[in-house]
Amino acid sequence: GENVEQHPSTLSVQEGDSAVIKCTYSDSASNYFPWYKQELGKGPQLIIDIRSNVGEKKDQRIAVTLNKTAKHFSLHITETQPEDSAVYFCAASSTGTASKLTFGTGTRLQVTL
């Protein structure tokens, strides 16, 4: 089955700096890669996603890049703000009848003033 590894587990940046979170996946058949943000006491919120036919996608301060050959994808947050502080999860969806998401173990991002 699919295995997703995520690094780093914790990340502290100063407000205004950029943050990068990286994930690798094992199943070359995976074709959908979402990123979720989870704030304390809340469910994961989808913030951006990318499909395997695209190499990069941007949405304001957030961007995701995908390298299918290397089987890794990354989340980039620019001009970080205190409200970006949360736990971020990457995920991958293997093709097949289930299309269930396999999640990374999460990155706790702390944006300091």
Partner 1 sequence: GAGVSQSPSNKVTEKGKDVELRCDPISGHTALYWYRQSLGQGLEFLIYFQGNSAPDKSGLPSDRFSAERTGGSVSTLTIQRTQQEDSAVYLCASSLDPVGIRAFFGQGTRLTVV
Q: Is 43 in the site for partner 1 (CB under 8 A)?
A: yes
Asked whether the beta carbons of 103 and 94 are under 8 A apart, the reply is no
Report the nearest approach of partner 1 to the CB of residue 57 (Å).
Answer: 13
Stretch of 18-26, 59-67, 69-77, 90-98 lying at the interface with partner 1 (CB under 8 A) = 90-98
Stretch of 14-22, 39-47, 67-75, 78-86 lying at the interface with partner 1 (CB under 8 A) = 39-47
Cα 15 from Cα 17, distance rounded (Å): 6
Report the nearest approach of partner 1 to the CB of residue 16 (Å).
Answer: 28
SS3 83: helix
| CB crowding 56-85: b at 16 or more within 10 Å, else e | eeeeeebbbbbeeeebbbbbbbeebeeebb
Q: Is 58 in the site for partner 1 (CB under 8 A)?
A: no
Among 23, 75, 93, 111, binds partner 1 (CB under 8 A): 93
Report the nearest approach of partner 1 to the CB of residue 23 (Å).
Answer: 11
Output the six-digit token pair for 110: 């702390």
Look-up: residue for tokens 């702390």?
A: 110
Site of interaction with partner 1 (CB under 8 A): 31-32, 34, 36, 41-46, 49, 51, 89, 91, 93, 97-106
